Amino acid sequence: MSRTSTTTPVPPPVVDADLRKLMRSLKLGRMLDTLPERLALAKQQSLPYVDFLSLVFADEVERRDRTSADLRARAARLDPAMRIDTFSSDSPVRYDREIWNELCSLRFLDDARVLTPGLGFCCPGRRHARRPRRPVRG
């Protein structure tokens, strides 16, 4: 007589209300969307705690990067159809091709330190806002 093992699917772990409250107070509430799935995966693969945390935080960083880019694009009222990968160099628009190629290469990101000193202070007024005001003598 052979035994056949039937495995029933294990439901994902439930995140209790206290943990939900703590995560929301730390601004990590959106991690709750994927946390039950990640907990089940960690249990199934016997992930060490550090690997589990790395996985969950990597998901959150990726989500925030994606959301941030979407929000900035919407705030700038950019047309979603207008992207570099859909740009046609055959368009009748006139532009400096050398500058365009330089921008597309993203080499300027490597030279960010060189560009920064030429920009000056970001907000020079903040430096003065921290100083105590002296009374005017007349």
Cβ proximity of 30 and 60 under 8 Å: yes
Question: Which one is predicted more confidently, 1 or 110?
Answer: 110
Averaged over 44-61, what is the pLDDT? 92
Kindly give, in sequence order, each residue whose CB lies less than 8 Å from that of residue 30, ignoring residues fewer than 6 positions away. 60, 63
pLDDT above 50: residue 118: no
pLDDT at residue number 93:
81
Cβ proximity of 63 and 30 under 8 Å: yes
Distance CA 113, CA 115 (A): 5
Six-digit token pair at 77? 């009222």
Domain limits, the chain: 17-86
pLDDT above 80: residue 73: yes
Spell out the alpha helix ranges (H) of 1-133. 17-25, 35-45, 49-75, 97-105, 107-110, 112-119, 124-129
Judge if pTM exceeds 0.75. no
Phi and psi at residue 28, in whole multiples of 5°? -115, 20
pLDDT above 70: residue 30: yes
pLDDT above 50: residue 120: no
Distances (CA, A) of 5 to 2, 8, 9: 10, 10, 13
